[in-house]
Each structure stands twice: as structure tokens, then as C-alpha cells.
Structure 1
Amino acid sequence: MRNYNLIFKSLSVFFLFSILANAQNKSATISVKNNLDFLRKEIVVVSGKQLSDLIKGNKANDLRIKKEGTQQYVVLQWIDFDQDGVAYELLFQAEVPAKAKANYQVVFDGNIPLAESRIATYSRFVPERTDDYAWENDKVAFRTYGPDAQKRVEEKRQEGTLTSGIDLWLKRTDKPIINKWYAENAKKSGYYHIDHGEGYDPYQVGPSRGTGGTGIWEDNKLLVSKNFVSYKTIAVGPLRTVFELQYAAYSPYEVKETKRISLDLGSNFSKFEISIDVQKALPNYTTGITLHENKGEVKINKKEGWFRHAEKIDGVLLGEGIVLNPKLVNDAFSNVSKEKDRSDLLVVMQPKENKLTYYAGFAWQKSGQISNESDWDALLQKKAKMLANPLRVTIKGDK
């Protein structure tokens, strides 16, 4: 795995503003509380005042975290959103039993080797396949399409794709596959459409929403953007990958979208944080899941805020889903069309202050993550409960 020591070397000026000579913590305890009735293994974020209080007069690149009562140090990741050399978030993965609390000890000792992980998250722009943007973790992989792919369609050239839908890559390994599959596909076109033992891409997006694409529902029609026009990679792992996609104005409302998309280690769901710039008020904002040939099964749970499609591709079950705060949902329904790739399960939402957050993802039976539709429903229900009941993080410093 990549040596993440390089990340810390760029943080030499990190939190200089909070150096307090008389208030330096030698150690601290981070308590993570789980109020739900099942084990949770999630990425914990320490940011803002909590992070500045935790660091105080110590050096950020000396920080280490271990599970209390053990010598088991956990993998860390710093996130620098504006890439100015100052990190704004500290991430680590916590494992908390049902209805319980887990404690993690923070120490400042640069002589302790940084913990590394065999698995990771990853994302990148892919110019060698026109201009895809692809992202993955140990469970799932996704991609979407840029301006060159759009231009190729408009000019009727090969290798074109015109859609703002989200494509799924069905992987059955926890190892990274993006770079390998693209490299092999460059040698032999169509490589990743065949399962060579790690999974493959049989998923058809077309003009549909794929899983998590967006639009505006008006007059019984879905208005959608074209491909993204620019991108920004913010972080690539090991615990979280983060990037942004910009979309050109579309529809009579002249909607411009910025999508900040992130994917955590161990999660089946990408997080979509949408910022919208419009010339006049939108009637709604909509996300969806392709219904392909309308042979799958749809479930709509407005009360809990989860929506799913279950279908078989090449005889194997694929579950796709969207999860969000149920208070944001105006409506949800299957929009069935006779046109190819125009049928979608649509979730119609009302953004607040032109911002909106939802989660979209999937599980593939061949990966071993689910065995049937009920397993997928259970994962969606758990995700909805986790969003409604976030882990509670408290920090106590010891001087």
C-alpha cells in the first residue's frame, strides 16, 4: 500500500494558530458511542474545535490513535479540502458494539510507525478512456463521464457516452480494480465487460440515472444535465476518497450543479453532497435508479427514507438503493417509459438553501455481500438508521 507518511510531511504548518504553550495535551481519549442495536464499523471524523482542542500545542504529524487497552494503532487520514497545506479533518475507523461505547487513546509520538491498511479507497480522472471519473473502495466501484465522451457522441465518433448517470462496476474482490481494469482494457477493448475473476461491468446506464444521477421532474418529464465539465480530486484514501464534479447549466432554470462525492472504506454507498446554483426557484430536485428493462422489483419506503431496485443481470442479483433524510422527500415513484434506458425509480426532493445530501449505492450477490433481496433491504434499513442516529464522539484531554 501507498505510504501515507507523505501526507503528514505537507502539514508542517498545521494548526500553528492553536499552539498553546501552557495547555499542551500529552494524550487524550476519544469516546465513540453507538445508540443502535447492531455493531457499527464506521469512519469517525474529528474536525473544527474538537480537532483544534485535540492537537493544542502538539505536532499533528506526531499524532497516533490506538484502541484503548491495546497496542493496536488504527489507520489515520487527514483531509485538506482546499489543498492549502492545512488539514481540516482527521479520520479513523471505529468499531463500536451494539448499544455500547468504544474508547480510543490519542498519543503524540512520532517514533511510532503509522498504521497502514491492505485495503483502501481511491478515485481518479481517467483520460486514457476518453475522460471518465472513477471511484472505488473495498466493496464497490463507480464511474461517470466527462466532456470528451459527450463530444464524441455529438460528433458521432467512437467511445462516446452522453449521460450524467452514475455507472456501477460490479467487483468481487476487496483489492483495487480501477487501474488494472482500465490498463487491461487499453490492451484489449472490452476487457472489463468480461468477468476475469474480480468482477466486471455489465451495467447499462445510457440516458438513465444509473444509480444516483440527478435531474428535475416537471410536466411528467425528467430534465437532466449532460456530462460533467470539470473535476477536482480532493482525497484518495486510505479511509475516504473525495472529489467534486461541476456540471454546465441546464433546463429553463439554468441549473448549475456541483457534486461533492465521497466514498468511505467498508461502505456500499457513495455520499452525494449537492450544491445548486439557479436563476430562479426550482420546483424540485430529483435523483433516481435505472429500471433497465422494467423486469426488477422496486421498494419505496418514504417513512424511513430508503428506496431500492433489485434486478438480475446475467442471472445474478444486483441491489441498487438510495438513502436520505425522509423529511426531504416529496414523492417517489417508478417512471416507466417505452424508450430505451428512460425508465427510472425517481425520488423527488426539496433542497434546502440549494443544498442537498443523499447516499446511493449497491450490493452484488456474487461479491458475497448479499444472498437475496431481503439482505439488501436489511443493509438499506441499517444505513437509514445510521443516518438518523450518528455515532456520538466526545474527546477528553489529559495534561
Structure 2
Amino acid sequence: MKKTLFVAAACAVGLCGCSDSQSVTVSITNPLGMNRSGEMVEVPVEQVFKKLNLPDTAQVVVYDSKAQEVPYQLTYDDKIIFPVAVDANATVDYTIQKGTPSIVNTLVYGRQYPERLDDIAWENDRAAYRAYGPALQRTGEKAYGYDVFTKSVEELVVEDRYKMELDSASRAKIAELRKAGKKEEAQNLQNSISYHIDHGNGMDCYAVGPTLGGGTSALLADSAIVYPYCYKDYEILDNGPLRFTVKLTFNPLTVKNDTNVVETRIIQLDKGSQLNKTTVSYANLSQPAPVAGGLVIHAASPEAYTYSAEDGYIAYADPTTNAKADNGTVYVGAVFPAPLAEAKVQLFEKPVGDALGHVLGITNYEPNSDFVYYWGSGWSKYGFEKAEDWNNYLKTYAAEVRSPLVVTVKD
């Protein structure tokens, strides 16, 4: 388990433990009539440090209303982020002051895997995801959308999965056994290292192919999806312990009369969340265009979708790559803070493999703006027993992002 020491300073832990008792109060107000717990709030670093009269190299501690230390992270865009709990229609105060923060476990992490065709994979304590890279694109394989890795434990698992799956000694032995005609032994060894099999913490059992997969966004041209391909360039901006952020830039697209439309995505996953916040922009687009977040529909469960433009979400209960195996159900979904123009199912003219089409949430994109939405997954073997549980999670999430917590920094 990775551990991170946020910062270090000569100050004892505790609200009264510092010789300099100066502190900043951050008030969090919940405008909704439901309790909210674990949401990450953002406070500008500059605002806090200015009020505390601290240099930017100083270190701070965050406390809740019961004087309990709260883990935090400093982000690439100069924010202090930390999880909060606020009752329905209530306000709660958190305190930030100079001090020595405790060491905490890193539960959010990701990196590029050049050893696996430039995958970028990332995870938190709830789920794991993958975006395909340029090395895969060069093979000719079409994989447009986000992939989902299921998880059933809080600990980080993706690094070990790749290491196991790509182990060169095991791969060489498998080839040797197959060459010797020992097919059963080869298959048993193959199964023992495969991340497509659950070895106790989850697996890769979700199919993407030439679709939007588990929540990718795309522009629409006369209702046709303009598929993005694999990313061209990437930059990891945050890497735990509470938030992972990656910036992806794509090769130019042709959208109607615009032939040099360049998409940029900033994907952010926080501890405790099933969903990735994603900010999408399109350079060199000359006119407004519909943009959609989409989920692929597979033939084994052709009607397992739900959507609501009014409530701001789309959902699908995916049967996994082998619906007859004991892989459970992968729940995928997307949430939209801004009002949707439409939510609907759009089927292909004919199936693409076992993919029938998509359930889409559609809104209008204005040139030189940002499209912000959330996408992600859950698993029937880790907290979501049935589709109703997942749909309720998405409805609640949509309500929360449409009525965000109000953060006020006081002296």
C-alpha cells in the first residue's frame, strides 16, 4: 500500500498544538435535503496561505468540526482538496492551520503502461479504468471507448494485474507448453496469470471494441457519432493520494466542414467515487454541435438500459464478456450537470460484433467552451447488488453535481 506524507512542519497535531494558533475556517453548506458524505471539496491554496500569512512552501493540517484530522491533497491547479460530511440542509465548519499532516494511504493512482500498448490505466478504492493508446492504434485495432476493470477491494490492484498478465517468464512457459502439445497445462497457466479471470480482487470482463465503451464522449454530425480514436499525447497532472488527473490530447478529427478539430480531455477520479469527472473541449470547431456521453449496449442484455434527461443520467447493466460465466454484472453510467437536450437509445444499422448501439446523453456544445460530465462504473460483486442500486446512485450523484456544496473561506 502506498503511503503519502502530505507535507511536514514543526507543529504538533491538534487544534491547540501549534505555537501559532492562526487558522482559517472553511464553511461547507449542503443545499440539498439529503445527507452527503465523502464528497471532495476544493479550496484555493493561495486564498488559504494568504490568510494564514504563510509562504507557499509551508505545510498545513485540515480538521473537521470534531477536531479530527482530515486527509487532503494539493492539486496541480493549486487547490486544497479534502473529503467532507454534511447533513441535509446544514452547514459544517472545517479548519485549516499550519501543522504536520499525518501519513495516509494512497488509494488513487494511475500511469501509462507502454508495456501494454500504451494503455493509461487508473483506479481508486471503488473501481478501475483504462484508455487505449497510440501503440494499440498502430496495430489497426479499433477501440474507441473507455474500458472498465472491476474491483472488489479498496487496495490498489491494477499495477499487480498488469505485472501478472505480462509476466515474460510465464508467457514463455505457456508458449513452450503449447509447442509441446500440452494444451491443458498451457491453459491452466494462462488462466493463473490472466487479468480476465477474478483472482480475488476483480477482473477485466468488459468489452469495448469500436464503440464508446463505458462512457466516452463524442461529437455528433447529423446524428452520426464522430468517434475519437486512441489518445495522441498525455500528461498526468495529479497522482494521489486522493485524486488522479490526466490530460489526454487526440489527433485531429473531421466534423462536417472542420478538418482539424482537436479534442482535449481532463479526466479526474477522486477517492470514494464511482465516477470520473471529465472536462472535454474541442479546438478549431467553427460552429455549435451536439455532443454525447455514451454507453455501449451488448446483445446479451439488449434492454438493460435506463435514462432520464430530466434527472441527468444514463445507465446500463452490462452482461460482461461472458454472460454465462460467474462474472456478475458491470454497471456503467454517466451523469450530466448541465441540462440534457435529449437522452435516448441509438442503435447501429446492423450489430458491430455483439454491440447493438448506445444509450446516449446529448447536449449542445458551443465552440471554445467546456463540456463537463461524469462517467464510471460499479459491480454487482462490490456494493451494487442490482440495477436499481446503481440507478439510485447515479440519480443521487446527478442531484449532487447539479446542487454542489457551497464552500466559503473565512478568517
- For the residue of structure 1 that corresponds to 2:394, the secondary structure is helix
Report how far residue 169 of structure 1 moved: 0.3
Q: 1:271 aligns with which of 266, 271, 277?
A: 277
Output the aligned Cα RMSD. 2.2
> What is the rounded CA distance, in whole Å, between the counterparts of 1:279 and 1:101 in structure 2?
42
Per the alignment, residue 17 of structure 1 pairs with none
Counterpart residue number, 1:243: 246
- The alpha carbon displacement at 1:281 in A equals 1.5
Give me the whole-angstrom Cα distance separating, in 1, the residues matched to 2:319 and 2:221: 31
Query: Which structure 2 segments of 5+ residues have no match?
Result: 10-19, 171-189
Deviation at 1:174, TM superposition (A): 0.7
Matches within 5 A, 1:53-202: 53-57=50-54, 60-70=57-67, 72-81=68-77, 88-109=78-99, 112=100, 114-153=101-140, 161-187=141-167, 188=170, 191-202=194-205
How far off its partner does 1:25 sit? 7.8
- Secondary structure (helix, strand or coil) at the match of 2:153 reads coil
C-alpha displacement at 1:49, in angstroms?
Answer: 6.0
Amino acid at match of 1:173: V
1:74 touches 1:115 (CA, 8 Å); kept in 2?
A: no
Q: Is the 8 Å Cα contact of residues 3 and 105 (structure 2) preserved in structure 1?
A: no
Provide the aligned length of Structure 1 versus Structure 2. 364
Deviations, residues 256-305 of structure 1 (Å, cap 9, x unaligned): 10000000100000011011112432432222001022534121211121
Shift of the 334–298 alpha-carbon distance from structure 1 to 2, 3 Å rule, reads same
Cα deviation per residue 1:189-225 (whole Å; 9 max; x = unaligned)? 6611000000000101001101121223234422212
Indicate the SS of the match to 1:61.
Answer: coil
Structure 2 counterpart of 1:126, which letter? Y
Aligned residue in 2 for 1:344: 358
Q: Which runs of 5+ in 1 are unaligned?
A: 12-23, 82-87, 154-160
Give 1:43's aligned amino acid.
M
Distance 1:261 1:54 in 2: 31
CA distance in 2 between partners of 1:363 and 1:3 (Å): 25
**Structure 1 residue 305 and structure 2 residue 305: aligned?**
no
- Equivalent pair of 1:212/1:360 in contact (CA under 8 Å): yes
Determine whether 1:41 maps to 2:38: yes
Offset of residue 241 of structure 1: 0.6
Q: TM-score, normalised by structure 1?
A: 0.85
User: Partner of 1:4 in structure 2?
Assistant: 4
Pairing 1:232–2:273 present: no
Q: What amino acid is the match of 1:388? A: R
1:319 aligns with 2:322: no
1:337-382 C-alpha deviation (Å, 9 max, x unpaired): 2222361112222123332100001111101x11111111110111
Match of 1:361 in 2: 376
**How many Å apart are 1:48 and its aligned residue?**
6.5
**TM-score normalised over the length of structure 2:** 0.83
Describe the SS at the equivalent of 1:350: strand
Q: Secondary structure at the match of 1:230?
A: strand
Aligned partners of 1:326 and 1:66: how far apart in 2? Answer: 33
Shift of 1:132: 0.2
Q: What amino acid is aligned across from residue 74 of structure 2 in structure 1?
A: W
Identity %: 26
Conserved 8 A contact 1:296-1:312:
no
Match of 2:48 among 47, 51, 72: 51
What is the deviation of 1:60?
Answer: 5.0
User: The residue matched to 2:58 in structure 1 has which SS?
Assistant: helix
Distance (whole Å) between structure 2 residues aligned to residue 4 and residue 40 of structure 1: 23
Structure-2 separation of matches of 1:354 and 1:100:
33
2:265 is aligned with what amino acid?
K
Distance 1:233 1:289 in 2: 25
Q: Which amino acid aligns with 2:102?
A: A
AA aligned to 1:105 is T
Quote the Cα distance in structure 1 between the aligned partners of 2:405 and 2:338.
Answer: 19
Structure 1 runs (4+) deviating above 6 angstroms are none
1:281 alignment partner AA: Q
SS in 2 for 1:199: coil
Matched letter for residue 310 of structure 1: A
Query: Deviation at 1:117?
Result: 2.7
Tell whether 2:369 aligns with 1:382. no
- CA distance, structure 1, for counterparts of residue 248 and residue 286 of structure 2: 22
Pick closer, same or farther for the CA change 1:230–1:131 going to 2, 3 Å. same
Post-superposition offset of 1:26: 1.4
